[in-house]
Amino acid sequence: MTAPTDPEQTSRSRPILPVAVLATAVLVGLATVLWRPGAASEAAAPAPDPATSTACADDVKVMFERKVFCPGNRVEVFKFAGTAKPADTGHPVEVVTDAGRIATVLGAAPSPVTGAPQLARVRWDGQDWPDVNGDSVTLPAFESTIHADHIRLAN
């Protein structure tokens, strides 16, 4: 008896189940390793140096997970943090608070959800900002709040 020469018959005779099982196992394993709540923020923003960030009174500390910021700390945004509103910026449309923005911590503000001091009241340096329409606008220094999960000590 000879082997089939028709390509359709040859592909049908191959075992598909082991390949499918292997592919599924690889995908599930990869997803399990990669998907871990908080893993991205832990890797991107290590805890700040306690000697430079925790030397302030508890009532003005900004605290979230292992992060602590005090008034006067220079911070930078390390991941997208939403938008700054016209009421804060004076610009007619919202501006994008993306990575690389620099500010100075002024103090803590309570989270509207938990009441914990997880929001930092900051004064943003005068800098160019992208607005939500895609335009670039130069804004003078202004104040707003940002969640501590989006910032780290600036170098």
Say if 96 falls within a structural domain: yes
Number of domains in the chain: 1
Task: Give the domain extent around 137.
Answer: 48-153
**pLDDT for 58:** 77
What does the pLDDT read at residue 84? 95
Structural tokens at position 17 = 């189940």
Residue 104 is predicted with a pLDDT of 95
Q: Is residue 139 in a domain?
A: yes
Whether residue 9 lies inside any domain: the answer is no
Whole-number pLDDT of residue 55:
74
Please calculate the CA angle 21-40-72 and round it to the nearest 5 degrees. Answer: 175
Q: What is the mean pLDDT of each run of 10 residues along the chain (155 residues)?
A: 56 59 63 49 48 68 85 93 94 95 92 86 95 95 94 89
Residue 33 belongs to some domain of the structure: no
Residue 38: inside a domain = no
- Inside any domain, residue 101: yes
148/116 Cα distance (integer angstroms) = 11
| Structure confidence at residue 91 (pLDDT) | 95
Does residue 3 form part of some domain?
no
Is the residue at 22 inside a domain? no
d(CA 130, CA 138): 9
User: For residue 104, what are the β-bridge partners?
Assistant: 74, 123
Is there a contact between 44 and 29 (Cβ–Cβ < 8 Å)?
no
